[in-house]
Amino acid sequence: MAVRSAEATWTGSLREGAGSVKTGSGAVEGSYSFPSRFEDGTGTNPEELIAAAHAGCFSMALTADLGRGGFEPKSVHTVAKVHIERGDAGFSITKIELHTEADVPNIDAAAFAEFAEKAKVNCPISKALAAVPTIELHATLK
């Protein structure tokens, strides 16, 4: 199977330092800092990258499941929101919200909801993030 990679470099102290991340393919590259991660600073952060990975994985998994079920979606659009909070043990990801909207001809809302829930549970990124206490799904059929 495929092996994917990414790299990150951090220089300086935690609060005043800065870092950079880059995917192995070079398709994603950006800088990050304490403010971009824990405040409203500019730049990317690991949680944003997790959100991108989860949204992409879920959209593909839902498309695949629908296809296996005999439905061909015209589009599946997903926004993932990763919540990071400070607790007694430090920072942790406490919740991920998946907001998806799909245009799928000839399917009813109940069947679509079942396919969406299955994709949420079975996409590889959801499986990798199983330690997150809550992964919420908000699925809307166009």
pLDDT, tens digit, 9 for 90 and up, residues 69-112 = 999 999 999 999 999 999 999 999 999 999 999 999 999 999 99
Residue 65 above 90 pLDDT?
A: yes
CA distance 136 to 72: 24
Let me know: does 125 contact 57? Beta carbons within 8 Å. yes
Query: Which CATH number is 46-141 given?
Result: 3.30.300.20
- Strand ranges across the sheet with 29-32: 6-11, 18-23, 29-32
Section 34-54 average pLDDT:
95
Section 43-47 average pLDDT:
95
pLDDT confidence tier of residue 117, bands split at 50, 70 and 90: very high
Sequence spans of domains, the chain: 6-38, 46-141
Q: How confident is the model over 16-42, as pLDDT tens digits?
A: 999 999 999 999 999 999 999 999 999
Share of the chain above pLDDT 90, in %: 98
Let me know: does 46 contact 37? Beta carbons within 8 Å. yes
Number of Cβ atoms within 10 Å of the Cβ of 12: 11
Give the mean pLDDT of the chain.
96
Give the predicted TM-score (pTM) of the model: 0.94
CA distance 83 to 96: 6
* DSSP H or E run through 127: helix 124-128
Cβ neighbours of residue 4 closer than 8 Å, sequence gap 6 or more: 23, 24
Name the token pair of 126. 């959801």
Residue 1 above 90 pLDDT?
A: no
